[in-house]
Amino acid sequence: MDIKILVLLILFTPLIGFLINGLSFKNKSSIVSGIIATSSVFVSFIAAVLLWQKMLLLGPERRVIEVILYKWLEVGDFNAQFGVLLDPISLTMLLVITGVGTLIHLFSVGYMSHDDTPARYFAYLNLFVFNMLLLVLGNNLLLMFVGWEGVGLCSYLLIGYWFKDQEKAAAGMKAFITNRIGDAGFILGIFVLFMTFGTANFQELWSFVPKAAELGWTGPVTIACLLLFVGAMGKSAQIPLYVWLPDAMAGPTPVSALIHAATMVTAGVYMIVRLNPLFLVAPNAMMVVAWIGGLTAFLAATIALTQYDIKKVLAYSTVSQLGYMFMACGVGAFGAAMFHLVTHAFFKALMFLGSGSVIHAMHEEQDIRKMGGLKDKLPITHFTFLCGWLAIIGCPPFAGFFSKDEILWFTFHSPQGSKFLWAIGVFGAALTAFYMTRLMFLTFWGKSRVPKEVHPHESPALMTIPLILLAILSIVGGWMGIPEVFNHFPGVSHIPNIFEEWLHSRILPIPNLAEAHPGQELAIMGLSLSVVACAVLFATYCYGIKTDLPKRITQKFAFAYDTLLNKYWVDEFYFAGIINPIVETSKGLWLYIDVNFIDKTTYVLTDLVRGTGGFFRGMQNGNLQYYVFYIVMGLVGALIFCAQL
């Protein structure tokens, strides 16, 4: 099949699904609207697989295809085409978006079966997929920005899907406004790049990249990269713009799986990986990316320790894992960031959908303090969630082990990294292992705390089949990126790193990277695994053996516990220091400028015009005697004037 036809199928079949469900939004059948939506994304997935097969047949250096669909903007010497850029980076994202997206759509058919407006839900979901595909396929920054804003709109619609609930509507608004702050930086970064290089096309930008790195903070590339990273902070929930993502759990659970685990929140990582030649010549910007990522990974992991909403635990875990991806980008390991992006999509989508299965079984209950002992009631959900748990804590040979270990190794070994940043990453991994083990005990293991009136039951096949498939991917997904150091084991033949070889031609290597010593890399790997194992054992001791210990610890360290439980009071600080002053200032401006000046000025002018009009209207009353009087007065006035000349 022709490449252009495949591109059109990938991009526009979800849009067709959106139009069909959108025009029939009153349809109350989740089966009908779900089949339409799921089929449209599945067609995109099949087309993406066919396109991937075609690219495999090409040599590594020829795996770059630009397809121009039509001329979009043309102003003077500037032109931006509506075109797509096909290469290993965008194809990797295509397979994740459409593949994982299909499974989440299928899960939604069962999950939304009791909703009153399923067609509206599936229309929004399809529109989101279309915009996400546009974001990753665009061959220039402007087209990427269109998709970037499109997924922001769909995120707002889906987070606030149950908008009649004021809290859920507020969560959608919070996500929308926070992302707009980041997007302001993103669009300014695009302007700086255009002013510097005169183009927004990715291929042309790469040809203009300076040979020498910018060592200062005021170079145009450094400024552009920092501004673009502000956009990534918003979209991918990094400090200080991470606060929207935990509240975004107000939307339906499959929305969390699709938008806030597998696709939209990874857009910032994708953007930086796409522009890796630019970031490599801006080492100061990369340093900021690395440290923001590392600190975000640590901060979010500490907050997750004290959360009791099953989706909030996973939300802060997502923020933390995104921090690891940015940490990898900041030390120059762009391939490792993409690898973790893919494996994270598998196991985190699995865990979000698994939490949806639990919530479905518990009749919409999300508090893990009211769960426990669900292992026997939900055997499929438990087993698949177990696979996700083993993957996210980095247990070999599950997917998360390979991708997270690669990030930690490059953070330690790269000239752009640091030992302190690596220590933060290892500590964050230990915290991840602890709070995810805590989640397993409080949800599935231990003594049941389920209320007597609730009778948990396993979810239907429409929901468990996607869980099983994602569990398989969470087990084997990391095998495509087995590190080179494994080839040094006795008796092991050459194991190729398939993922690294696939991305090799589109991602530049880390500058001045020294050759790795196998013993050192294995020691670093063993150390991080040991720390994670200790965290798992400690969590097991706390929640499986000495179950009263967590309560005693929280009482002894009450202030620290309250700080984490209240999420460091960041939201309260934003309201007290930023939002409320702006609101109060706006009220003052409204009262003194809008009401007392602008409104009163317009009222005076209105009264003047109305009074003047009333005066002249009185002169045109149709009375002939008045008209004769006016004529006589006019003549008298004219005669007097002439007499004075």
pLDDT in tens, 225-244: 999 999 999 999 999 999 99
**Are 385 and 354 in contact, with CB atoms under 8 Å apart?**
yes
Euclidean distance between CA atoms 109 and 41, whole angstroms: 14
Tokens 């039951």 label which residue?
457
The two three-digit tokens of residue 124, written as one number: 């929004």
Euclidean distance between CA atoms 640 and 552, whole angstroms: 106
Q: How far is CA 424 from CA 162, 257, 597, in A?
A: 38, 27, 55
Euclidean distance between CA atoms 460 and 465, whole angstroms: 9
Please state the separation of Cα 27 from the chain's center in Å.
30
**Are 314 and 348 in contact, with CB atoms under 8 Å apart?**
yes
H/E segment holding residue 349: helix 334-361
**Would you call 169 exposed, middle or buried from its count of C-beta atoms within 10 A (0-12, 13-18, 19+)?**
middle
- Evaluated on CA atoms 377, 380, 382, 385, the torsion sign reads negative
Over range 245-261, report the average pLDDT: 88
- Evaluated on CA atoms 372, 376, 377, 378, the torsion sign reads positive
641 Cβ contact list (under 8 Å, min separation 6):
none
Q: How confident is the model at residue 374 (pLDDT cuts 50, 70, 90)?
A: very high
Q: How confident is the model at residue 645 (pLDDT cuts 50, 70, 90)?
A: low
Does 391 score more than 70 pLDDT? yes
**Are 301 and 316 in contact, with CB atoms under 8 Å apart?**
yes
Euclidean distance between CA atoms 229 and 242, whole angstroms: 13
Q: How far is CA 601 from CA 598, 609, 610, in A?
A: 5, 12, 14
**Are 402 and 339 in contact, with CB atoms under 8 Å apart?**
yes
Over range 113-140, report the average pLDDT: 93
The two three-digit tokens of residue 219, written as one number: 């170079």
When computed from its CA atoms, the radius of gyration of the chain, rounded to whole angstroms, is: 30
pLDDT above 70 as % of the chain = 99
- Residues 558-586 pLDDT 10s: 999 999 999 999 999 998 998 889 888 88
Euclidean distance between CA atoms 51 and 53, whole angstroms: 5
Over range 45-71, report the average pLDDT: 91
* Residue closest to 344 by CA, chosen among 276, 289, 266: 266
Q: What pLDDT shows up at residue 71?
A: 85
Does 354 score more than 90 pLDDT? yes
The two three-digit tokens of residue 639, written as one number: 């005669």
Does 491 score more than 70 pLDDT? no
Euclidean distance between CA atoms 39 and 62, whole angstroms: 32
pTM of structure: 0.91
